[in-house]
Structure 1
Amino acid sequence: MTKRIKVQIFEDGTVQAEVAGVKGKKCTNYIKILEDILAAETVDSDYTKEYYETEKVILDEVDHQELKVGE
């Protein structure tokens, strides 16, 4: 899933944002970026189900060959 932030700005100046495609606590980093850009402060927040999920990281094993000095 693509990482994205949905931002709504209402007539009274209220900003509502929702982060999607980011699992775990990393989503809160995106809200911090918005706060910095808008010079704003979060006054209320709710977590999506993705906040409580764990991001899966797949590592490929690479074959390593030893190189002996003097060969």
Structure 2
Amino acid sequence: MSKKQIRVQIFADGQISAEVIGVKGKACMDYIELLEQLLDADAIDSTYTSEYYETEQTVLQHRHINTIKNN
């Protein structure tokens, strides 16, 4: 599993650029939404990286436990 990061650049004119790294698929938009809330700002332009078009692989582990009752 890759490390999830938000790379933020703040420019002299007050513009902010943010890049979500290590998040695949549309889930990256959740990070941008959080950043918008924290900064009380709105995204005005988006460019999607190749990670946006990938799917996150999730590994599910299933454990089955048998309980046996003695009569």
TM norm. shorter chain > 0.5: yes
* Match in the other structure for 2:17: 16
RMSD: 1.5
- Identity, % of aligned positions: 50
Match of 2:6, SS state, is strand
Displacement of 1:36 in angstroms is 0.5
> Where in structure 1 do 4 or more consecutive aligned residues deviate above 2 Å?
none
Count of equivalent residues: 70
Q: What whole-Å deviation, never above 9, does each CA across 1:10-52 have from its counterpart, x for those lacking one? A: 0000000000000110000000011001110111001110110
Hey, what's the Cα distance between the residues in 2 that align with 1:18 and 1:2?
A: 14
Superposed displacement of residue 62, structure 1: 1.1
TM-score by length of 2: 0.89
Unaligned runs of 5+ in 1: none
In the TM superposition, residue 8 of structure 1 has moved relative to its aligned partner by 0.2
Q: Any idea what SS the aligned residue of 1:47 has? A: coil
TM-score by length of structure 1 reads 0.89
